[in-house]
Amino acid sequence: MHFNAFDMLVPVHQTPGLWRHPESQIDRFDQLEYWTGLSQTLERAGFTSLFLADIPGIYDVYGGSHHAAARGGVQYPLLDLQVMVPALAAATEHLGFGITASVTYEQPYLLARRFATLDHLTKGRIAWNIVTSYQDSAARNLGLAGQIPHDERYDRADEFLEVMYKLFEHSVDDQAVVADRETGVFVDPERVRGIEHHGKWFSVPGEMLTHPGPQRTPLLFQAGSSARGQKFAVDHGEAIFVINAKPDKLADQVASTRAALAEAGRDPYSVKFSAMVTIIVGETEQEAQARLQGYRQYVDTEAALTLFGGWTGVDLSGLDEDAYVADVQTEANQSALAIFTKDPSKKWTVRDVAEFISIGGRGPTIVGDPVQVVDELVRYQEISGVDGFNVSAAVRPADFERFEHYITPELGRRGLLPERPQTPVTLRESLLGAGPRLAADHPAHRLVVG
Ligand SMILES: Cc1cc2nc3c(=O)[nH]c(=O)nc-3n(C[C@H](O)[C@H](O)[C@H](O)COP(=O)(O)O)c2cc1C
């Protein structure tokens, strides 16, 4: 059972309002020492990686402005994680880093170099969380009149990935850097070639700007859960991040994605699923429940609806709290909206949505003593078929420290934590249990270059 920590370089990630909790230190989110300290805690606690979310815009859907996001610190202010990661890698040995980067707003040629650089500097301890993004505010500030429609973003993303694979896998040979002082040759030019990519959205004829890192292509994480998003995951993902409070519902998604992987000629069990979860643990059940009650005093309803608006593009401001949330066509995150509007067991009101999101965002929250928490993780895993968890913390970093103190020993007793090799390995090796490079059955290897 692997564990990634799910976090973001912001005051509020998934649990609004809790930055005001007396134990919260997240007002230090703009200090490097906060994040190096957290990374070291996670490494000691047995986490495989720190998975960092990122968005290229402000959440300005709720109330039609940035005010609520600013007031509540809702994924704002937001630091640049790509700048942060090398410092975190220098403070740790084994921990991997999930790096979210948007294919809708980055350029493949430069992004490939940035990931190769990060792969070198971290000794192969990075993953790329490939996102297509979902905010109008991002589109407006990055040169577009509006968002590219949802499914078209994924079509364009397919070509973006094609360019990345060509740059990562096919442009520079492993033996290209010779650094031969006798002959005066640093890079053998015969071992470097232009990729001659001329497509619908991208034209990249030239050579990759740097030499391959330990993983060549970073470990590929994918988190889109719409029908088109799942197809993209099957075509590219090596690890898939899912969110669902109900493990039986998730079981359908996991099973259908594994079936689609097999159909596409990929080993369905080579791809790892991680489910988001928030954990509130206490020494005893009573203490854990008391903590939950304590947390509830700090929830921020407006900030919760600001998160909802950001994810879904749907503005619930000014509505009666008892009004039902109806389904609409959105060009934002379709799977995030569907959780509330396509639930056969319940019609969600505005109040229900705000209450649900307030602690733990769209995922499940597990509350209990260490034995109860691990029992529930085991049950969730058995029902859903996921391979591990992306753990989000309500009070930061206290809930991660409590994980180390309470959950790690219980996981250890049951032999549930992956064994850590003495010598650090790449993230692809530690998360997938595979080699450092893309598997032979990955579609990237089927590309014809030139
Ligand atoms: C679990 C999960 C995590 C995501 N994390 C991010 C993120 O950090 N940044 C981002 O721009 N999009 C993120 N997304 C958005 C998707 O990757 C995708 O760009 C968009 O929401 C459309 O997704 P859909 O296929 O589920 O409709 C996330 C989506 C999910 C389901």
The residue whose CA is least distant from atom 11 of ligand 1 is: 133
- CB of 229 within 6 A of ligand 1: the answer is yes
Cα of 181 from ligand 1 centre, angstroms: 48
Average pLDDT over residues 69-82: 97
Q: Choose one of 131, 222, 276 to mutate for the ligand 1 pocket test, by most ligand atoms within 8 angstroms of C-beta.
A: 131
Alpha-carbon distance 134 to 286, whole Å? 40
pLDDT digits (tens, 9 = 90+) for 106-140: 999 999 999 999 999 999 999 999 999 989 999 99
If one residue of 51, 61, 132 were mutated to test the ligand 1 pocket, choosing by the most ligand atoms within 8 A of its CB, it would be: 132
The CA-CA-CA angle for residues 299, 335, 379, to 5°, reads 70
Residue written as tokens 């995150």?
A: 333
pLDDT the model gives residue 326:
85
Distance from residue 337's CA to the centre of ligand 1 (Å): 12
The overall average pLDDT reported for the chain is 95
Q: How far is CA 18 from the centre of its chain?
A: 21
| pLDDT over threshold 70, residue 50 | yes
CA 282 to ligand 1 center in whole angstroms: 31
pLDDT band at residue 334 using 50, 70 and 90 as cut-offs: confident
Query: If you average pLDDT over residues 329-345, what whole number do you get?
Result: 85
224 in contact with ligand 1, CB cutoff 6 A: yes
Q: Can you list the domains of the chain with their CATH numbers?
A: 2-169+209-440 (3.20.20.30)
Asked whether residue 450 carries a pLDDT value surpassing 70, the answer given is no
Q: Is the CB of 239 under 6 A from ligand 1?
A: no
CA–CA separation, 131 and 222 (whole Å) = 7
Ligand 1 atom 5: residue of nearest CA: 53
The pLDDT assigned to 281 comes to 98
**pLDDT beyond 80 at 18:** yes
Residue nearest to atom 8 of ligand 1 (CA): 53
- Percent of all residues in the chain with a pLDDT value above 90, rounded to a whole number: 91
Confidence label for 156 from pLDDT (cuts 50, 70 and 90): very high
Q: Is the CB of 225 under 6 A from ligand 1?
A: yes
Q: What pLDDT, on the 0 to 100 scale, is given for residue 447?
A: 85
Using only the alpha carbons of the chain, give its radius of gyration. Answer: 22
Contact 345, 364 (CB under 8 A): no
**Which of the four pLDDT bands, split at 50, 70 and 90, describes residue 330?**
confident
242 alpha carbon to ligand 1 midpoint, in Å? 10
pLDDT tens, residue by residue, 274-289? 999 999 999 999 999 9
Q: Give the tens place of pLDDT for each residue, 179-190.
A: 999 999 999 999
pLDDT confidence tier of residue 393, bands split at 50, 70 and 90: very high
Q: Ligand 1: does its nearest atom lie under 6 Å from the Cβ of 223? A: yes
User: In this structure, how many other beta carbons lie within 10 angstroms of the beta carbon of residue 407?
Assistant: 24
Expressed in angstroms and rounded, the spacing between residue 226 Cα and the centre of ligand 1 is 10
Check pocket membership of 363 for ligand 1, CB cut-off 6 A. Answer: no
> Where in 119-251 does DSSP place strands (E)?
126-131, 177-180, 185-187, 197-198, 203-204, 219-222, 239-242
Q: Is 331 in the pocket of ligand 1 (CB under 6 A)?
A: no
**pLDDT-derived band at 253, boundaries 50, 70, 90:** very high
Select from 52, 133, 231, 334 the residue to mutate for testing ligand 1; criterion: most ligand atoms less than 8 Å from CB. Answer: 133
The closest alpha carbon to 366, from 352, 378, 353, belongs to 378
349-390 residue pLDDT tens: 999 999 999 999 889 999 999 999 999 999 999 999 999 999
Q: Is the pLDDT of residue 224 over 80?
A: no
Does the beta carbon of 230 sit less than 6 angstroms from any atom of ligand 1? no
Query: Ligand 1 pocket check: which of 82, 130, 134, 141 to mutate, most ligand atoms within 8 Å of Cβ?
Result: 134
345 versus 176: which is more confidently predicted?
176
Token pair listed for 365: 């929250």
Q: For the chain, what's the residue count?
A: 450
What per-residue confidence (pLDDT) applies to 130?
97
pLDDT at 37: 98
Ligand 1: which of 236, 333, 339, 340 to mutate, judged by most atoms within 8 Å of the beta carbon?
333
Query: Is it the case that residue 66 has pLDDT exceeding 70?
Result: yes
Q: Report whether residue 335 contacts ligand 1, using a CB cutoff of 6 Å.
A: yes
Nearest alpha carbon, ligand 1 atom 23: 224
Residue-wise pLDDT tens digits, 190-205: 999 999 999 999 999 9
User: Is the CB of 59 within 6 Å of ligand 1?
Assistant: no
